[in-house]
Amino acid sequence: MSSRFGRRNESGERGERGTMALELAILAPVLLALLLFLMACGRYFQTSSLLESAARDSARAATQARTLSGAQAVVDDAVRRAVIDQDNVAQSCKDTAAGRIRPSAGFTAGASITVEGSCTINYRDLGLLGIDKDVTVTRAFTSTLDQFRGVRP
């Protein structure tokens, strides 16, 4: 027996053929968008954590330098090394990684310096989310120069 809405089985109920395919067709784009959103969040938080660590390590290393230019060289090296050594960091971040020193009261004993590490994340490969621009992530850490630096007994 058949009706105009589909075949009926022996007990007189309509069959559910094709409903699973319909559900999959409706849910697949939603699940894909969710997956891409999670990938974007993971990329952001991983880069943020990496830059936080790089800023901390480079600020501590910069406090050992004797000049501001020497400290800047140490910071650049530490930030680039921290980002480039990671295999799972986006190439866009590796290309744009940079460190910058902001001395608050000059590069003198007892002064504090703030090191900022930054890089730009490219989200264009996740175009389905509508994120088609680059996002710059910046993290900073402040450290104090040794107050007894340069003092000789």
Q: Is residue 10 part of a domain?
A: no
Length of the chain: 153
Q: Is residue 8 part of a domain?
A: no
Inter-helix orientation angle 68-84/19-62, to 10°: 150
Q: Give per-residue pLDDT as tens, 8-51.
A: 666 656 667 778 888 888 999 889 888 888 888 888 898 898 88
Parent domain of 61:
16-144
Q: Is residue 49 part of a domain?
A: yes
Q: Is residue 131 part of a domain?
A: yes
Q: Is residue 123 part of a domain?
A: yes
Q: Is residue 9 part of a domain?
A: no
Domain count, the chain: 1
**In sequence order, what E strands does the chain have?**
2-3, 6-7, 98-103, 112-122, 134-144
Q: Is residue 3 part of a domain?
A: no
Structural contact between residues 133 and 40, judged by C-beta atoms closer than 8 angstroms: no
Question: Mean pLDDT across the chain, nearest whole number?
Answer: 81
Residue 132 burial by CB count (10 A; 0-12/13-18/19+): exposed, middle or buried? Answer: exposed
Q: Is residue 151 part of a domain?
A: no
Q: Return the pLDDT at 15.
A: 64
pLDDT tier at 62 (50, 70, 90 boundaries)?
A: confident
Q: Give per-residue pLDDT as tens, 98-153.
A: 898 887 767 888 888 899 999 888 887 777 666 777 889 999 999 988 777 665 55
